[in-house]
Amino acid sequence: MPRTRDLTDPDWWRTAVVYQVYPRSFADGNGDGIGDLAGLIDRVPYLAGLGIDAVWLSPFYPSALADGGYDVDDYRDVDPRIGTLEQFDELVAALHAAGIRIVVDIVPNHSGSGHRWFQAALAAGPGSPERARYIFRDGLGEDGSQPPSDWVSHFGGSAWTRVPDPSSASGQGGQWYLHLFAPEQPDFDWSNPEVREEFHDILRFWADRGVDGFRVDVAHALAKDLSEPLASYPRIHRDVLKDDGTDVLFDRDEVHDIFRGWRDVMNEYDPPRSAVAEAWAAPARLPLYARPDELGQTFEFDLVVEPWDRARFRESIENALVRAREAGASSTWVLSNHDIVRHATRFGLPADVDLPAWLMTHGTDPVEDRRTGLARARAATMLLLALPGSAYLYQGEELGLPEVGDIPFDALEDPIWERNGHTEKGRDGARVPLPWTPDGPSFGFGSGGSHLPQPEWFADYAVAVEDADPSSTLNLYRAALGLRAQLATGDGFRFVDDRDGVIEVVRDGGWRSVTTFGTTAALPDGDVLLSSAPVGADRVLPADATAWIRDRA
């Protein structure tokens, strides 16, 4: 299936290269230090020049920013600090005119605590229909002063917060509400049909505005076992997650009923709207979310945790391809996003490094090997872009941008920092505003400052600097995306497994990709179309590199 910019193609998402924009950190149009839609609209030519097929826009909705916008106060509007609905329409038009689709983030597990529904629930009191949209319970113990269960938040601490009782003059003795994330993110009760209807309407609201697809936040958490007494669940970890659809909090079978309802809504449109699930479930259960009568795709996150290791890459890739086939979906290659330490840094650190602990040293212990990290990051990207399926890129990775490890503690925005009693820095190091120019306030991000501090070395990674350097990572991404669009991208492919330390992928259409892990490799016959590191006259590919070769006819 060749890649297409035809905006009526219903299968576009199967092979798309999707670029994630974290709007507050992409480009600032009005100089207030916060990225916005005006800044993004200005950069549409940059995105078109990069050669991507779609933009995934992380939350831009009105929000108290307790969790970088994943605490949504109004699902049908734009945060005034980011822009207006009119500007959103302008953005959609500009992207579509450039042949680029737009995917928006839908956050259905929880709203922000400023959402009118949550405010109404607080005011209405126990037993009200307003409270039934969320998960309110009486506390345990004689005076209800203990949380209703031992459930914990992903960000640390109890997943329950107590609220004042509106019927008591003192406000004492109120109920507790559930929040699997920050207290400012109350969980919806998805067994309530009103919640289901509301989200169908929200999907329609954006689809009507021309949005092409949806990225579904924590898709695996919507259905919960709320039967009394609430079951014990004191720890959230892969090791305790049940893989048979009966886990108390995650990946329960009932969640699929919700997404079948979403598919019906998405199929009301022509072409049908696409979706991708962010689901942290047991590997065998990932394909369930991607079934054709559900969301269509699930993120494959294996490679965001695997070190630079030939066997681990080979196995992860194989498994992801099998799972995609099983679901009738296409695979989703991911190396970085706004929740993870950037891959140029991960690959420059020892394989067994404890990343949160490393961040607590401000990135000083151990010191990352930037050269190796960047070489591997470039090689990994070219390897994944040579595979069948779609790829999700995160803003800044096209610059080879490393993680900002040394954000001072007092500048952190991520709720992880406060909720864990200042023992974990969280995810801000991947969310620092992008450098566009080597100088100027905020390196061209805007005419003012930057909401997270940018390090001096950002100058070296600025778009303008890399634009002028033919060997830059930016120009490598441009070339790779351009070639990928031209070369046949059909599903037909095979691995050649005859060399240690090498992954060789042969694609239909007469081309192949060779990646070296810690070893050099003589390249097979054929023209070298592109390589992540220089190939000498001897046709030897250096270690930690990828080359794409056109087979001899």
Would you please indicate which residues are annotated as catalytic (active-site) residues? 217, 268
Mask of contacts with ligand NOJ, 470-489, x by CB under 6 A? --------------------
Positions in 51-70 near ligand NOJ (CB under 6 A)? 67-68, 70
Among residues 351, 344, 408, the alpha carbon closest in space to that of 371 is found at 344
- Rounded to the nearest whole angstrom, what is the least distance from the CB of residue 102 to Ca ion in the complex? 20
57 binds, among Ca ion, ligand NOJ, none (CB under 5 to 8 A by kind): none
Residues 319-358, interacting with ligand NOJ (CB under 6 A): 338-339
CB within 8 Å of 397: residues ≥ 6 apart: 335, 336, 342, 343, 344, 377, 381
Q: Cβ closer to ligand NOJ: 182 or 462?
A: 182
In the complex, the smallest distance separating the C-beta of residue 427 from ligand NOJ, rounded to whole angstroms, is: 7
For ligand NOJ, the closer of residues 23 and 68 by Cβ is: 68
The interface partner of residue 70, options being ligand NOJ, Ca ion, none and the CB cut-off 5 to 8 Å by kind, is ligand NOJ
From Ca ion, ligand NOJ, none, interface partner of 300 (C-beta below 5 to 8 A by class): none
Beta carbon nearer to ligand NOJ, 112 or 444: 112
Q: Which is nearer to Ca ion, 340 or 434 (CB)?
A: 434
Rounded Cα distance between 5 and 7, Å, is: 6
Structure tokens at 394: 């995160």
DSSP label at 295? T
The residues that touch Ca ion, with contacts defined as CB under 5 A, are 28, 30, 32, 34, 36
When the beta carbons of 153 and 316 are compared against ligand NOJ, the nearer one is: 153
The CB-of-60 to Ca ion minimum distance in angstroms stands at 12
Report the nearest approach of Ca ion to the CB of residue 32 (Å).
4
Tokens 């992860």 sit on residue: 316
Instruction: Spell 513-550 as b/e; 16+ CB within 10 A means b.
Output: bbbbbeeebebeebeebbbbbebeeeeebbbbbbbbbb
Vertex 265: Cα angle to 259 and 268 (nearest 5): 145
Closest residue to ligand NOJ: CB criterion: 70
Q: Both tokens of residue 262?
A: 């979403």
Instruction: Report 91-130 residues binding ligand NOJ (CB under 6 A).
Output: 107
Return d(Cα 363, Cα 169) in angstroms, integer: 51
Please report whether residue 294 would count as binding ligand NOJ according to CB under 6 A: no
181 binds, among ligand NOJ, Ca ion, none (CB under 5 to 8 A by kind): ligand NOJ
Q: Is the Cα torsion angle 115, 120, 123, 126 positive or negative in sign? A: negative
4 binds, among ligand NOJ, Ca ion, none (CB under 5 to 8 A by kind): none
CA distance 330 to 510: 21
Q: Is 509 exposed, middle or buried (0-12, 13-18, 19+ CB in 10 A)?
A: middle
- Residues 6 or more apart from 400 whose CB is under 8 A from it? 344, 374, 377, 378, 461, 472, 473
Instruction: Give me the phi and psi of 365, to 5 degrees please.
Output: -140, 105
Q: Which residue has the tokens 């003012």?
A: 448
Residues 388-407 that bind ligand NOJ (CB under 6 A): none
Task: Rule CB under 6 A: say whether 28 interacts with ligand NOJ.
Answer: no
* Side chain identity at residue 329, one-letter code: A
CB crowding 456-478: b at 16 or more within 10 Å, else e: eebbebbbebbeeeeebbbebbb
Of 278 and 300, the one with the shorter C-beta distance to ligand NOJ is 278
User: Residue 34 binds which one of ligand NOJ, Ca ion, none, with CB within 5 to 8 A depending on kind?
Assistant: Ca ion
Rounded to the nearest 10°, the torsion over CA 237, 242, 247, 252 is 110
**Interaction residues for ligand NOJ, span 211-270 (CB under 6 A):** 217-218
| Shortest Å, Cβ 215 to Ca ion | 23
8 A C-beta contact, residue 386 and residue 493: no
Closest CA to 341 of 384, 283, 396: 396
Which of ligand NOJ, Ca ion, none has residue 413 at its interface (CB below 5 to 8 Å by kind)? none
> Sign of torsion, CA 222 223 228 234?
negative
CB of 117 to ligand NOJ, least distance (A): 17
Q: Could you tell me the smallest distance in angstroms from the CB atom of residue 173 to ligand NOJ?
A: 30
Nearer to Ca ion, 29 or 296 (CB): 29
Residue 181 touches ligand NOJ, criterion: CB under 6 A: yes
28 binds, among Ca ion, ligand NOJ, none (CB under 5 to 8 A by kind): Ca ion
63 versus 330: smaller Cβ distance to ligand NOJ: 63
Shortest CB 244 distance to ligand NOJ, Å? 24
Residue 373 — φ and ψ, nearest 5°? -55, -45
Which helix H or strand E contains 42, and what residues bound it? helix 37-42
Nearer to ligand NOJ, 36 or 184 (CB): 184
Rounded to the nearest 10°, the torsion over CA 295, 296, 298, 300 is: -170
Please, which residue, 222 or 523, has the CB nearer to ligand NOJ?
222
From the CB of 218, what's the least distance to ligand NOJ, in Å?
5
Regarding 416 and contact with ligand NOJ (CB under 6 A), the answer is no
Measure CA 57 to chain center. 10
Phi/psi for 178 (5° steps) reads: -90, 135
Among ligand NOJ, Ca ion, none, residue 134 binds (CB under 5-8 Å by kind): none
DSSP E strand stretches across 321-369: 332-334
Tokens of 183: 């207290």
**C-alpha to C-alpha distance for 262 and 268, rounded to whole angstroms:** 10
- The site partner of 339 among ligand NOJ, Ca ion, none (C-beta below 5 to 8 Å per kind) is ligand NOJ
* Dist. CA 190–CA 198, nearest whole Å: 11
Size of the site for ligand NOJ (CB under 6 A): 10
Residues binding ligand NOJ (CB under 6 A):
67-68, 70, 107, 181, 217-218, 278, 338-339
